[in-house]
Amino acid sequence: MMRSASALALAAALAATSLAPAAALATSREDQTRVTTSSAPAKTEIKPPVAAKKPHSYTVHGITVEDPYDWLYDKSYPKVDDPEVLAHLEAENAYFEAQMAAQAPFIEALFAEMRSRIKEDDSTVPQKDGDYLYWSEFEEGAQYRKHYRRPVGGGEPQLLLDENELAEGHEYFRLGAASVSENGRYLAYSVDTDGSERYTARIKDLQTGALLPDIIPNLRSDLVWVKNDTALVYGPSTEEWRTLEAKMHVIGTPIEADVTLYKEEDQSFGVSAGLSAQKDWLIISTGDNETSEVRLVPATDPSAAPILVRPRHKGVEYSVDVRDGEVWVLTNDDHINFRLAKAPLTQPGAWETVIAGSNDFYLTDFQLFADFFVTEGRRQGLDQIELRRYTDPNTPTPIAFPEPSYTAGLSNNPEYAVSTLRLAYQSMVTPATVYDYEVASGKLITLKTQEIPSGYDPSLYVSERITIEARDGTLVPVSILMRRDRAEILKKAGIEGPGPLHLYAYGAYGYAVPPGFSTTRLSLVDRGFAYAIAHIRGGDDLGRRWYLQGKLFARRNTFNDFVDAGRGLIARGYTAEGMVTASGGSAGGELMGAVINQDPRQYGAVVAHVPFVDVVNTMLNEKLPLTPGEWQEWGNPILDKEAFAYMLSYSPYDQVSAKAYPPLLVTAGLNDPRVTYWEPAKWVAKLRELKTDDNLLLLKTNMGAGHGGQSGRWNSLKETAEEFAFILWQMGMAPKAEGE
């Protein structure tokens, strides 16, 4: 669909070749499989922090809720300076460090093992955008990337940006938007140096290497070049982290003089901007999780009166692109799985169907090129890429891939007139692969396959895709990766019968977890774990309806699907009760909290990253960054008594009770604007108070980071090593620590 900037080639080249979300002995362990690689998990004799209980309650819709850990929410947020709050978080961190100290050699060994699978001096495949080829590189040992270009006809590489240099002196660093002007002279980029997701933008003159004096603070959006490269369109952040405006900054003018092109009045909506396929129209979009509205203005004159494509209508989503005087529209207005339509620019709301909606094919995206267009979607949960001619759009040319389960899609294609397409492909067995697809011949040309320096033999692994019946009769897909010689590995480890299995899912916002490749995952699989991804409702793996069946008043389906997937894997002999480990982050962390409330005996160890567990309090607090925009996903408990009661019935924090829970590692980020630090802190405090077992419960708060944990590829990898060490330790599969 719309291209966010003329040098999208650069922005896309910044990404690594693989992106995958990160990731028992039962409470009654005496009848479970024993292992010989370690004694039962031992805990350092240090008492865990006990949070004070302070009287606090609230009443909504006649229902009173006691919340004695509310004090952990520093009311001066986003500043967190309450000494008692900070002292408690530091105490939890000290407890985490003390408990994990004995595992330090194992963490280092896992880290070294994971690092050995990463090509340290790696680079992306160069991609042409205008007069230049753009790419990025890691140098050996470096935490961050360098970004380069060179002229298409040849010449010396030009260093555009060195993230390592920008990160110096900062505990945290993340590059946000990056966009080269159409004339190739300027690079606009933004950085976040504390994890708060409030970015600051600068502009670099690529001819002189100097930074222009222009500084755009506090933004949360792309940077889009307009007005013949004399201005940038961006989205500033409100105090509540909402992007409600599209503003234009003319280079060389004071930031105070920036012009508002569009301002959204609905606090639940968010505004974004990008360029059309031919880069002649600025597309300003606004919407929430279920409703959209789009305006068009000429890219050469963004202050002109906008063209409203079609007024918002609750429940109707649409996105657009423009080509040769026609507006192309992807919308769910008459079919749940979306249709593709078009209309003349003079009547942009008169949508005429190009590709009708289908129960069999879930249309997720499209991209317009000079001589053809491409649609992306899923059929039976598997990614599909299809080329279509403007003269015969209903006769697609599908791009075929060799494996029965995989993830594939368009990669970085910044130019409009092309004869080849850049594609990305991977599976749970096949490392990330970059292809060029020749449109005329239909030939796939392999440009790069992810290199694993320590060695990788795909024939040692097997990937399966099965379905498991949930309690309401719904068939839930599960993707599984195992070693072919898993039984022998388990036998050597002293494990008899079914081995451990790690189960991962997300299950919200219509995000489908792809069955992709992960080098870190091998550290579990090579030790005899099966690794499974449950494609549960709440994601849109099987179409838009699959997503809708896991939101609002159907939210419990998500939790039930995950529990039932684990139970189904146990029943089929992949694992046993108490030998399932699980992980999830953010909304997936909410999932972890809900499933251990529902079926704690299934799990041997659980990791919840930045978990959204204090659901009711967050959805009641409309001052928090994301709350108004989230009501369409979870419900509005302020106005709707039924939504309040339903939310309260599953909210992991509110449903903690006096029973045994599995070993649990919880993470948080002090600067996290998405899931605020106090959600996991309050949850852990309540679990410590009520749980009846002596299993390990750890909370680690990154005091200088946000939602994504630590930045830098090695810092991030170290946290994954910690997570896996915790899991293996709690499963009795870690090497014996000194003194055990």
Q: What is the pLDDT of residue 360?
A: 93
pLDDT, position 738: 63
Residue 4 pLDDT > 50: no
Strand order in the sheet with 146-151: 127-129, 132-137, 146-151, 158-162
Q: What is the mean pLDDT of residues 140-160?
A: 93
User: Model confidence over 277-324: pLDDT tens digits?
Assistant: 999 999 999 999 899 999 999 999 999 999 999 999 999 999 999 999
Q: How confident is the model at residue 706 (pLDDT cuts 50, 70, 90)?
A: low
The pLDDT > 90 percentage for the chain reads: 84
Looking at residue 163, what is its pLDDT?
A: 94
What ranges make up the beta strands (E) of 7-91?
57-60, 63-66
Tens-digit pLDDT profile for residues 547-576: 999 999 999 999 999 999 999 999 999 999
Tell me what the pLDDT averaged over the chain comes to.
91
123: which residues sit within 8 A by CB, 6+ positions away?
135, 136, 137, 138
Q: How confident is the model at residue 709 (pLDDT cuts 50, 70, 90)?
A: low
Residue 665's nearest CA partner among 587, 707, 608, 583 is 608
Does position 23 have pLDDT exceeding 60, yes or no?
A: no
Given pLDDT bands bounded at 50, 70 and 90, which one contains residue 523? very high
Residue 606's SS3 state is strand
Report the pLDDT value the prediction gives residue 739, as an integer from 0 to 100. Answer: 57
* Interaxial angle between packed helices 678-690 and 83-100, expressed in degrees from 0 to 180 and rounded to the nearest 10: 70
The secondary element (H helix, E strand) that includes residue 487 is helix 486-492
Per-domain residue ranges for the chain? 8-17+123-449, 57-116+455-730
Q: Between these two residues, 666 and 22, which has the higher pLDDT value?
A: 666
Could you tell me which residues are beta bridge partners of residue 700?
A: 667
The amino acid at 708? G
- Give the model's pLDDT for residue 13: 35
pLDDT of res. 46: 83
Query: Which residues are identified as catalytic?
Result: 586, 672, 707
Look up the pTM and report it.
0.89
Q: Any idea which of 197-211, 520-534, 615-629 has the lowest mean pLDDT?
A: 615-629
pLDDT of residue 143: 87
pLDDT of residue 628: 87
pLDDT of 18: 29
- Binned at pLDDT 50, 70 and 90, residue 7 comes out as very low
> Does 704 score more than 80 pLDDT?
no
DSSP 615-641: HHHHHH-TTSSSHHHHHHHH--TTT-H
pLDDT at res. 343: 98
Higher pLDDT, 197 or 721: 721
User: Do 581 and 502 touch, CB atoms closer than 8 A?
Assistant: yes
What is the average per-residue pLDDT within 411-420?
Answer: 95
Using alpha carbons, select from 668, 673, 675 the residue that is nearest to residue 710. 668
pLDDT of residue 35: 32
641 — pLDDT class (breaks 50, 70, 90): very high
Residue 294's pLDDT is what? 98
Kindly report, residue by residue over 254-275, the tens digit of the pLDDT: 999 999 999 999 988 999 999 9
Domain 57-116+455-730 bears CATH identifier 3.90.1150.10: no
What are the tens digits of pLDDT across the range 211-230?
999 999 999 889 999 999 99
Domain 8-17+123-449 adopts which CATH fold? Answer: Methylamine Dehydrogenase; Chain H (2.130.10)
pLDDT tens-digit series, residues 330-348: 999 999 999 999 999 999 9
Other CB atoms within 10 A of residue 153 CB: 6
- Which pair of tokens denotes residue 469? 């019946």
pLDDT grade for 239, boundaries at 50, 70 and 90: confident
Higher pLDDT, 651 or 16: 651
Note the pLDDT of residue 671. Answer: 84
Query: Could you read off the pLDDT of 457-516 as tens digits, one per residue?
Result: 999 999 999 999 999 999 999 999 999 999 999 999 888 889 999 999 999 999 999 999
CB contact at 8 A, 445 and 460: no
